[in-house]
Structure 1
């Protein structure tokens, strides 16, 4: 008994990159990017979100500091709400931050003055300056997350101060740093402050001590400290050089060192309710780290060094928080706002993207037809789900081991019969119900090549039969997964039909002229691809030289 002849297995394209992880899919939902240039192309040095409090709502705005102004943006619309520019002519604004109710904005400056502004009228409510204030630039100001009238500031005069909004003099001063203090934050749950300095230390201060304070704890780093962010009441992340240290405030040591950047890490942020730590650096990369394993879970690339970042949440209360925007400030003065699409917004954006691709490809009518068919099918399913099926009269079917013979398609039958040219025609011009399948085309040509029958299938074709083959070559010649197969096809076509190209050029026949035109278009596309390849080789050579240097 002869063995059964099975259909050829379809030729699949090579597998692409590894499937996306859950984190990568999550951060790819931050799509709708808005690029906002600063008025004077000054670097965006600070992006701050009002701190959350378990008992009070958070303002639906966030502050962006650049050059001599602080701009307030709406969380809901991403539009500019207010601009506060009441700083001196030679002064530069620093670290603009809104109070959690959104009514007062704090800002430092290179002049050493700390100012409080009414966000409604832009009026200056308070200025701390003079003998009992900072003597040099103030780079960081922060609101106390628990007390509406308390705030802190750090300065290049190497001190950290705590203020009361109703008082003219600081109520506590921390002395101990030996260089500029460029970062600071409150530790949640108690009245302690952490500060980072260019003296390569992070110091923890207990502001409940009266008089001039001394640090309660000191952590030594190997580079100037650029930013700090609390990871709860007992953990702290500090960026120094191209490393981020995870500091254990109870044990008094670093639990982990994160090394994922090539250049200095300038800014830190938290996302997904503290489950992810974001780091931004001068290498233009944002890395997303899992706060359990501290491994890089995802990442984003920007075209310029990153000076600041923040994840803006949309919930009014802490329990309702959801990441809404990823705000990134670049050295070039560009503020990048990426908005996370979720739910119906995500579905609408996906459908819009599919429709646009179909329109560009000239398949808009086909897309509309499929969409109507899909909508009709979903309507039938919804109707069926509404019925109450109780199972009366239902048949029970037990699936056995029976083999069902797969029916061969016309081109597969022709291939089995050795009618190679006919099989090729049947793939190129199938019946209207089936439509053209590139997978069938690649499968057939691969089988013909294995049988050394590719020349037989391509030879002896008229101009009318040759045109579909050339159309397929022109369409897929730039697809990397088909290059080797198309190379063999083109070589055979040139070898078989090059003697006839001359007479086709002089012929008055439309089909002959169409063949010549397709050959010329293929030649131009090959030439352009060769130029791109040459440029890529030159670029690769330059990169290798840079690596050697």
Structure 2
């Protein structure tokens, strides 16, 4: 008899041919993006054409939609999805909201061809910059300069404005089609880039101009190859990202406009891109930047341009037109073509929450300390049951009770024939083959066949008839089936129920199944 202590370790019998399922790899980057809790802001009627965050805390964001410009506070304690203020001073569709560096002024273009400047707090219109003959899709403040801004429109003109006097200081000529996007340099207020439907992106330097003519000159031109929908400088100032068609490209300006990266993972036109500093509170991923792109295919993609790979992708149920990421890395906002804003927020640290509450008129109050548990209490003896193990601690788990199937219980009692019949009754080929392999290891399979009654023999022949020709089991069942037919030929002839299953061989011929 086999050693029981050795045999008991083999239970339960497991099928070897069943593929093991693999869980997807959850990287720290994936967990970071999944930590954003998404909320819908609806009721904006029309497409959300642009999104911009205030550079100053608490980092409100502005969204242009239809003939309005709305401001939102994503950390409002009561209604973060309701606008804190709305500016409706546009005669037609509003485009390209842009905060000044101090967050006190807000500029926006429009279908009427006028660039308007508003005071953020009072919503008062302070200036109207008139000079474009077609819709203005681009209006941006420089990085620090509070007195000037640049604009671009469907008239293919790029203008540099003195906001205080409402005068155009310089016209930049060179584009031959609609100017739809632009970005100020993050390191030099004299540089900015614009993208056009003429497939080119031009970098302008306001210091290089024809004296007395009021015309500026282009410092560099790169050809994107398709109509340019958006342009953004990367934080170093030496790289420029462009979006057009279904392609996002990165250019090295210091190296003379050389293309260093191209991403073609979107299926439709990429409508907007932005750069965000991610992982401020996620350990090793801190102080790294990602380039985010949205497209008409409904996908948001985050690109680690230092490693030139996509680190995260997420789909939304509508074409996406605009995207923005807050400077504090806690808010991600996406605008769609059907007037819905998807706002994703992360939890703040307690210190940041306290400062925010003081700003809006609330005061931070610490939670009361929990009372110490004493030995007489019931909870004292159950403390720590829900605690998770910390690094360096050893976790001792209770052995889980294994639930055995009927054939496993019979194998444990060395009832080999009954175990084979029980597995055959279940009609699960993987478990039947597993039991056969166990019986082969114990050298008991052929004895079970010789000692089986008519019911067991009928079940075995029915199983062999069905699964012997299956490639997964053929190498084991083919030779076994021949031995079964040869050894039990007289029994098969004696029972009428078995004659229809197989044709008994004559004088060493192979078995033939009907």
Tell me which interval the TM-score lies in, with the shorter structure as reference length.
Answer: 0.5 to 0.7
C-alpha contact (below 8 Å) 1:38/1:66 kept by paired residues: no
TM-score normalised per structure 1: 0.61
Q: Which residue of 2 aligns with 1:313?
A: 327
Query: Over residues 194-224 of structure 1, what are the superposed CA-to-partner deviations in whole Å (9 max), with x where a residue is unaligned?
Result: 0000111000100123431011111112111
Q: Which residue of 1 aligns with 2:507?
A: none
**1:296-375 matched pairs, under 5 angstroms:** 296-314=310-328, 323-341=329-347
Cα distance in 2 for partners of 1:283, 1:21 equals 25
Q: Which residue of 1 aligns with 2:114?
A: 113
**1:240-255 matched pairs, under 5 angstroms:** 240-251=244-255, 252-255=257-260
Q: Which residue of 2 aligns with 1:50?
A: 54
TM-score normalised per structure 2: 0.65
Cα distance in 1 for partners of 2:338, 2:13 equals 51
Q: Quickly say closer, same or farther: Cα 1:446–1:417, change in 2 above 3 A.
A: farther
Shift of residue 448, structure 1, vs aligned partner: 6.0
In terms of mean alpha carbon deviation, does 101-110 or 222-231 score higher? 101-110
Please give the root-mean-square deviation of Cα atoms over the aligned residues, in Å.
3.6
Cα distance in 2 for partners of 1:312, 1:73 equals 12
Q: Which residue of 2 aligns with 1:140?
A: 138
Which residue, 387, 412, 419 being the options, matches 1:416? 412
The runs of 5 or more residues in structure 2 that have no matched partner are 279-286, 351-378, 394-398, 420-425, 440-451, 456-514
Cα distance in 2 for partners of 1:112, 1:305 equals 26
Q: Which residue of 2 aligns with 1:503?
A: none
Q: Quickly say closer, same or farther: Cα 1:69–1:420, change in 2 above 3 A.
A: farther
Shift of residue 68, structure 1, vs aligned partner: 0.6
Q: Does 2:95 align with 1:94? A: yes
Q: Which residue of 2 aligns with 1:239?
A: 243
Q: Look up the SS of the partner of 1:298 in the other structure.
A: strand
**1:89-488 matched pairs, under 5 angstroms:** 91-129=92-130, 133-190=131-188, 191-210=190-209, 211-231=214-234, 232-251=236-255, 252-271=257-276, 272=278, 275-314=289-328, 323-341=329-347, 376-377=384-385, 414-417=410-413, 447=431, 450-451=434-435
Q: Quickly say closer, same or farther: Cα 1:420–1:304, change in 2 above 3 A.
A: farther
Q: Which has the higher helix share?
A: 1
Shift of residue 245, structure 1, vs aligned partner: 1.4
Cα distance in 2 for partners of 1:250, 1:279 equals 24
Q: Quickly say closer, same or farther: Cα 1:178–1:274, change in 2 above 3 A.
A: farther
Number of matched pairs: 370
Q: Quickly say closer, same or farther: Cα 1:341–1:407, change in 2 above 3 A.
A: closer
Runs of 4+, deviation exceeding 6 Å: 371-374, 379-382, 405-411, 419-423
Cα distance in 2 for partners of 1:406, 1:261 equals 47
Cα distance in 2 for partners of 1:256, 1:380 equals 43
Cα distance in 2 for partners of 1:33, 1:407 equals 41
Cα distance in 2 for partners of 1:274, 1:407 equals 47
The structure with the larger Rg is: 2
